[in-house]
Chains A and B, each alone.
Chain A
Amino acid sequence: MSEAASAATGNVAGAASRTLASDAWRSLRRRPDVIISGLIITFFVVMAAFPTLFTSVSPRHCVIGDAKIKPQGFGNEFPLGTDSFGCDTLAQLAHGSRPSLLLALVVVGTALVIGVTLGLLAGYYLGWVDFVVSRTVEVFLVIPYLLAAMLLLSLFKNVDLGSGTFTTIMLPAIVLTLFGWMGYARYVRASVLEAKNLDYVTAARALGASDLRIMFRHVLPNAIGPVTALVPTAIAGVIGAEAVLAFLGIGVRPPAISWGIMIENGSSWVLGGYPHMLLVPLAALLATVLSLVVLGDALRDALDPRLSA
């Protein structure tokens, strides 16, 4: 029962200069699921950055006579077949990855920053800050997002923003961010309420720490957990939502292509005998999201000192 004895026996782990980051990296490297997920994500990121590495065909080169060709396998003219307009599916998948992934990244990233900041402020200060934030969250939750999205997007429908990748996704990005931050704010607020009354926060306050320091060093690292689990699914949600907006003609605008548009187009041909039009983009989306889930989980475990030891 002696403390000294237990301290002496546990001496193995205490050796010198191992930091949490290096420990995390070491444990991540040893997990096969993490390695596979990492490779898949890298693959799609490279595809988004350099789509021409994967296909030499332009996605806008569509010959109606080649419509609805089933996948022919690699080495042939249409490895993954063509869609109902005769466009090459592989070319569309490669070129469509950039807007889709960029949109997901921008939307989830911005929503995360907004939601976490507002949730943190609301939970920490309570009072009128909390009142304003909570009511705003409720207002945004009550507005049917599709309706508001349609309204906003049709208002800007005729505004020409140019044809760069970023500008084609800008409108859907703004709309999806506007209606995507509330979940993070609510989760963070709830866990901040729990974390801020723990003794280590009182201890930091008794030491004279500033609010900013308490929030970012003590409260947020212990309150962010539930939110990290939301992020991978939110990315899938954004790509799906973009498909819905595209279906309504107000999302990523043609001639730009995205996975969402491909899924939307392909879904009507599943029962017609051409499931590949749906399955190819869907498989790419699922692989991306699953990899993000695995990576996110592994990273969270590795960075939590209680679980990594």
Chain B
Amino acid sequence: MTESRPAGAELVDERPAHGGSVLEVRDLVKHYPVRSGLLRRSAGAVKAVDGVSLTLDRGRTLGLVGESGSGKSTLARVLVGVETPTSGQVLVDGEDVTGRSRAGRKQLRRDVQMVFQDPYTSLNPRMSVSEIVGEPFAIHRIDPAGGRRAAVGELLELVGLDPDHANRYPHQFSGGQRQRVGIARALALRPKILVCDEPVSALDVSVQGQVINLLEDLQEELGLSYLFVAHDLGVVRHIAHDVAVMYLGRIVEQGPEADVYGAARHPYTQALLSAVPVPDPSVRLVAPTVVEPSPVEPPLVEPVDPSLVEPVETRIQTGEKRPGIGGIVLEGDPPSPVDPPSGCPFHTRCWLAPTLPEARGEAAASSTKGSETESAGPVVPDRGLRLVPSVCETEVPALVTRGAAPDHVAACHFARELAAPGAGA
């Protein structure tokens, strides 16, 4: 543990590469038990992460998007070792790190580090910047060549801060500068992977771009791999090479950025994309039921330049569809992760399923047959008129190749590219 590592700009990872992937997650599950009653018996579990597999290649960025409560942050916390997974494996450079001893986990922490969402709570207000950035050295008892002071100065310079400000306290910095301090702290141990948990969503729009650019420069300079958790699809599109979409603790669609954004297959992804604010509402994806004749024949979502997409928090609109806007609107809130819906977890809110001929066919069948099919019938209890194909309710869709690229996968029984107005499907 006393091995000395130089810190700073000339940090290039000389460790041998293990194939292409630096991080591999296999069937990761994180359940939080819900206890109740006098004896505090386990009465179920919050299934925050429910069987997630993903791969992060060296020097690449994987964007992880999804609504609040979809389990993105829990997944990030498991990956940096703050939470222990209920089951599943996390492989860093091909080595399983979940079953390791305390000392082994400490080594993992040198390889995987985290950048936090809120720069105002992620820095200890009672420690100076040099103490904060130098703490990783103190924890791991590393004495970098040239001393910790010099190493801290180099790290600050690396993230674009003045090393002379090392004696200042966090409250003397702006939000963007604090985020840079947080990045410097994460880089101190020369990690291979940075898990960024919504690193720019708490920042001003003008500062977001600077921090994103810094992350991109650092990736190029240090050969880092990023797992970039965000709910901002515009930012993810800008920085990520690959994109994974999470819903209720599972990945519902995953693939190269261009494929997922250009030709989303999962209805949830399509709904998310349609909610991205675009400068021109007429190029927005629309649901097939609300086809809006557009005079200019715009292509798919393709022409939206990432730099034009305002990095504003993406929300799924709830409530009524507003006429003339035509985005896909999901109704209601995500179901409780304590008791997720059977079959496809998305079927209770899916906009596609009720429009399918399969749903109508079964509805017609059940109405003629009467009471005998009612118990197993496709009628969703909370919405009397909502009919979905029974396969959506009973079978969990597998994550299988659905797109043009072989690594573009989606978990939907009826995955299909969405027809946009004026463009063929």
Q: Which of B18-26, B59-67, B115-123, B276-284 touches A?
A: B115-123
| Residue B86, interface by CB 8 Å | no
Interface string of B91-113 (1 = CB under 8 A from A): 00000000000000110011001
Given contacts A14-B162, A309-B171, contact A200 B139 (CB under 8 A): no
Interface string of A1-42 (1 = CB under 8 A from B): 101001100110111111110000000000000000000000
A96 shortest CB reach to chain B, Å: 40
A37 shortest CB reach to chain B, Å: 24
> Which residue on B lies nearest to A10, using beta carbons?
B172
Given contacts A3-B176, A7-B162, A199-B121, contact A208 B106 (CB under 8 A): yes
> Which residue on B lies nearest to A219, using beta carbons?
B124
- Taking CB atoms, residues of chain B closer than 8 Å to A198 are 121-122
Q: Is the CB of A209 within 8 A of B135?
A: yes
Q: Is the CB of B124 within 8 A of A209?
A: no
Q: Is the CB of A199 within 8 A of B116?
A: yes
- Taking CB atoms, residues of chain A closer than 8 Å to B128 are 20, 305
**Assembled-state Cα–Cα distance A218/B132 (Å):** 11
Q: Is the CB of B139 within 8 A of A213?
A: yes
- Taking CB atoms, residues of chain A closer than 8 Å to B117 are 199
Query: Which residues of B (396-421) have their CB < 8 Å from a CB of A?
Result: none
Q: Is the CB of B206 within 8 A of A1?
A: yes
- Using C-beta atoms within 8 Å of the partner chain, give the interface range for chain B: 35 or more
- Taking CB atoms, residues of chain A closer than 8 Å to B127 are 217
A221 shortest CB reach to chain B, Å: 5
B51 shortest CB reach to chain A, Å: 24
**Assembled-state Cα–Cα distance A17/B127 (Å):** 15
- Taking CB atoms, residues of chain B closer than 8 Å to A217 are 124, 127, 135
B399 shortest CB reach to chain A, Å: 28
Q: Is the CB of B135 within 8 A of A207?
A: yes
B92 shortest CB reach to chain A, Å: 14
**Assembled-state Cα–Cα distance A277/B119 (Å):** 59
- Taking CB atoms, residues of chain B closer than 8 Å to A209 are 135, 139
Given contacts A6-B174, A14-B164, contact A222 B121 (CB under 8 A): no
A35 shortest CB reach to chain B, Å: 26
Q: Is the CB of B168 within 8 A of A14?
A: yes
Q: Is the CB of B118 within 8 A of A207?
A: no
| Residue A306, interface by CB 8 Å | yes
Q: Is the CB of B122 within 8 A of A199?
A: yes
14 further interface pairs, Cβ-Cβ under 8 Å (given A206-B113, A207-B189, A305-B171): A6-B177, A11-B162, A14-B168, A15-B164, A16-B167, A198-B121, A203-B122, A203-B185, A208-B110, A209-B139, A217-B124, A221-B124, A222-B124, A222-B125
19 example contacts (A-B, Cβ-Cβ < 8 A) are as follows A3-B176, A3-B207, A6-B177, A14-B167, A14-B168, A20-B128, A199-B121, A202-B116, A204-B124, A205-B82, A206-B114, A207-B113, A207-B135, A207-B140, A208-B110, A217-B124, A217-B127, A305-B171, A306-B125
